Amino acid sequence: MGVSTDAILAWGVPLGGPDEDWTVSFRDGTYDGPAWFDPAKRDEDGEYFEEQANERLRPHFLHTAFNPHVLTFQSGTYPQYFLATWSASAYRGQVRTLDLARVVAQPEAEYWAAALVTAASVLQIVGDVGTPAFTLLSYWGQ
Percent of the chain with pLDDT over 70: 92
Least confident residue range of 1-5, 103-107, 135-139? 1-5
Q: Is the pLDDT of residue 46 over 60?
A: no
- Report the chain's mean pLDDT, rounded to a whole number: 87
Say which residues have a Cβ less than 8 Å from residue 27's Cβ, sequence separation at least 6: 34, 35, 124, 125, 126
CA atoms of 82 and 119, how far apart (whole Å)? 12
Q: What are phi and psi of 40, to 5 degrees?
A: -75, -20
Residue 64 to residue 66: CA distance in whole angstroms: 5
CA atoms of 32 and 38, how far apart (whole Å): 9
Domain ranges of the chain: 4-141
Task: Check pLDDT > 90 for residue 44.
Answer: no
